[in-house]
Chains A and B, each alone.
Chain A
Amino acid sequence: MLNKALVAGTLALTAAALTFADVAIARDQIRIVGSSTVFPFAATVAEQFGKATTFKTPVVESTGSGGGLKLFCAGIGERHPDITNASRRIKTSEVKRCAKNGIVDITEVKVGYDGIVLANARTAPAIQLTLRDIFLALAKDIPLADGKTLVNANKTWKDVNPALPATKIEVFGPPPTSGTRDAFVELAMEGGCKSFPWIKALKKQDKKAYKALCHTIREDGAFIEVGENDNLIVQKLVANPKALGIFGFSFLDQNADKVQGSTVGGKAPSFENIADGAYPISRALYFYVKQDHIGAVPGIAEFLSEFVSESAWGPDGYLTDKGLIPMSDKERKDWSTMVKANKKLVM
């Protein structure tokens, strides 16, 4: 009795689920993959686009910049995504991989900027840093004046710079898989690193040694990797007022009651300073579109024009509410003209 009822029930449920399915769909929904930093912005535009037009709301996946470009470059067709977000520019190797799979015509769109901040809890005094301080505090090996290097033995911020407090160096940051980490290493670490004249000279002679010195973060516990969740870093900073954390500007913006950003080179990580480039640790955000899919998947052209509209990415647009730092008026105009003309990416 019981088993008969059960078998019947299971069959009915499966049948119900299968009848719901409309078989063999040609994709009528835009698919976006890529960077977790651009994800909130792409998702916001997708949502607006879905509400304001009759097209379906695009599906946005957060796969990381590298993972997104891998999926993007896998081929043309409805199984492959139309757009990928990146918190860095596409690499030549990735363009080559795309070309190998038949994706030659790519539209590049620069979205705006994102600042990377070093913040601590509001309960502790704010800290004034320079790029050189950051490098000397977090590098694995630190340079001496005469072209030699030494394993980093700085224990406190005071060891780095006598003007800083004598608290232990303890920095929460993202893991190497994260685009934020890449950008932090390239902008902050390298920026501080090449403030030593002999290292700057080294870049021309031995690029590998230069990179190894400038890009390697210490592994003795002063730099603590905390997954890709920036909210977790904020929580850890509140629990530990002596520590600093590295994350994107939008999290500082949303958690201004809990954490404060350190100034870098005398510039506070504010909206204005990142927008005009005064704050040194900021990066550009991009997304890439397959031109072969425009027209094949409905709505891509309309989605692009929504993204590059002033009401979205302009200084008063809804993306700035989400923490995007807009480009200058001229840059926005140039990019929007290029996007509308379907200008192809040339490396």
Chain B
Amino acid sequence: MTDRLSTKLAARLRKRHRGEKLFRLGGLGAILLAVSFLATLLVSIGVSGYTAFQQTTILLQINLPVDPVNAGYPGLVKKSLREAFPSVSSRRNKKELYRLVSSGAAWEIRNYLTDHPDQAGKTVTVTVTASDDVDMLINGKVSRLDPPQVRRLSDQQVAWIDQIRASGNLKIGFNTNFFFNGDSREPELAGIAAAMAGSFFSLIICLGLAFPLGIMAAIYLEEFASKTRLTSLIEVNINNLAAVPSIVFGLLGLAIFLNFFELPRSAPLVGGMVLALMTLPTIIITGRASLKAVPPSIREAALAIGASKVQSVFHHVLPLALPGVLTGTIIGMARAVGETAPLLMIGMVAFIVDVPKSILEPATALPVQVFLWADAPERAFEERTAATIIVLLVFLMAMNLIAVILRRKFEVRW
């Protein structure tokens, strides 16, 4: 009798243990799978993007003009290349030769002359950007063993590149264009400066609007408002707003800010306002949650020694709730910095070369730059897309890190 019972019990125990083991294995498997997806994503972005941080440049001997205005800079570049390779004579070959340097080289020489006016009329060595095809060959994105139509360089061009390299006039350096230029249709000249400036201005506007408004709303709803039907209706609606797809906020921005208030299209001001609308519910919700987490004894103690309601909130409750509020705000901002959809509607998805200097000048944002370059036919944009994603990820990680540090430093546990 007892024997039968004990075998039954043992079987049930085994079954329960097995169940527990399976659950643990399943959980571990889920985490491993998620981590491996993340790792694949990061590694593939890293591998395709890191080469964009370096850029091939070519040193050219340029006879600088005396008159900087009517100098015909493209001609200077061509002349310098012809002098470096005097044996090239046919029109076709010359054209191939000119293709080795970027079409932006002419403007780089103009900029050099503007920076060094004393060099006018002299022959100097100027560093110019190599074309994207040359850059792809040098950084190994295309192989010299590929057939010419594949690597987009002829055998002759590859031979010239080798020659320039042997003479020490080919340099590989940090890609300053990528960080200091605006957008360009030439991959080797394209940069994220305009997008970074746009993202910066939009975020400042977004923070400046959403943070004070969100905190005020949260404090009022949590500390002052009486629980009526109206306040619970507002509460439900704020929760709903947090789940509204972001494109809807873009449409709202188009209808109200652009069409009604007639604010300029593509401006970071409008972008920031739209993003503020989007982050506001997040800030209010997290703000209320962290205010609620402050124990009532704090408020009661303040009131007991004669503080007014406002004093108790601003002197005692808010400082204690602030780490939580800040975490919520930063996470809201991190979401805003990665948003493209609402910006599409207000014209911030655009080709912008000039780096914006104010919140009213046309600008794009970092994720928009990713979106635009991912659609470009030139192969060299692939690595720049990945590099922009890396920059964006670094920003996001930094923001989340700040949120974690703030929480660690100021959080009070009850």
Interface residues of A (CB under 8 A from B): 1-3, 6-7, 10, 13-14, 16-18, 20-23, 25, 27, 29, 31, 36, 39-40, 42-44, 46-47, 50-51, 56-57, 59-62, 79, 228-231, 248, 250-251, 253-257, 316, 318, 322-323
In whole Å, how far is A58's beta carbon from the nearest beta carbon of chain B? Answer: 8
The interface centre, meaning the residue of B142, B352, B382 with most chain A CB atoms within 10 A of its CB, is: B352
The listed residue (B107, B314, B375) touching A51 by CB distance below 8 A is: B107
Please name all residues of chain A whose beta carbon is closer than 8 Å to the beta carbon of B402 when the two chains form the complex: none
CA distance A18 to B359 in the complex (A): 7
Q: Given contacts A13-B207, A22-B360, are A40 and B377 in contact (CB under 8 A)?
A: yes
Is there contact, CB below 8 Å, between B204 and A17?
Answer: yes
Residues of A contacting B183 in the complex (Cβ-Cβ under 8 angstroms): 43
Chain B interface (Cβ within 8 Å of chain A)? 95, 103-104, 107, 142, 146-147, 149-152, 182-186, 201, 204-205, 207-208, 211-212, 258, 262, 264-266, 269, 314, 318-319, 322, 326, 347, 349-354, 357-360, 362, 372, 374-379, 382, 410
Contact B410 A2 (CB under 8 A): yes
The listed residue with most A CB atoms (<10 A of its CB), out of B212, B265, B372, B374, is B265
Contact check, B322 vs A2: say whether CB atoms are below 8 A apart.
yes
Given that A17-B205, A47-B184, A61-B266 are known contacts, is A25 also in contact with B360, CB under 8 Å in the complex? yes
Q: Which residue of A lies closest to B406 (CB)?
A: A2
* B208–A10 CB distance below 8 A: yes
Contact A231 to B362, CB < 8 A, known contacts A20-B357, A60-B351: no
Contact of A21 with B359 in the complex, beta carbons under 8 Å: yes
The reply to whether A251 and B265 contact each other, CB–CB distance below 8 Å, is: no
- B103 pairs with A318, CB closer than 8 A: yes
Chain A residues within an 8 Å CB radius of B360: 21-23, 25
Expressed in whole angstroms, the minimum distance between the Cβ of B347 and any Cβ of chain A is 6
Let me know if B379 and A255 touch, CB within 8 A: yes
Q: A61-B351, A255-B379, A257-B146 are in contact. Are A322 and B185 (CB under 8 A)?
A: yes
Known: A13-B204, A254-B379. A40 touches B185 (CB 8 A): yes
Q: Is the CB of B322 within 8 A of A3?
A: yes
Q: Are B149 and A256 in contact (CB under 8 A)?
A: yes
Q: Is the CB of A3 within 8 A of B376?
A: no
Contact of A79 among B262, B318, B322 (CB under 8 A): B262
Which of chain B's residues have a CB closer than 8 A to the CB of A59? 266, 350-352, 362
Contact residues in A for B146 (Cβ distance below 8 Å): 257
A57 to chain B, nearest CB (A): 4
Partner of A251, one of B208, B262, B377: B377
Q: Is the CB of B185 within 8 A of A47?
A: yes
Whether A254 touches B378, Cβ cut-off 8 Å, given contacts A51-B107, A57-B354, is yes
Choice from A3, A10, A44, A230 contacting B375 with Cβ under 8 Å? A230
* Closest beta carbon of chain A to B92's beta carbon, Å: 11
B residues near A27, Cβ cutoff 8 Å: 264
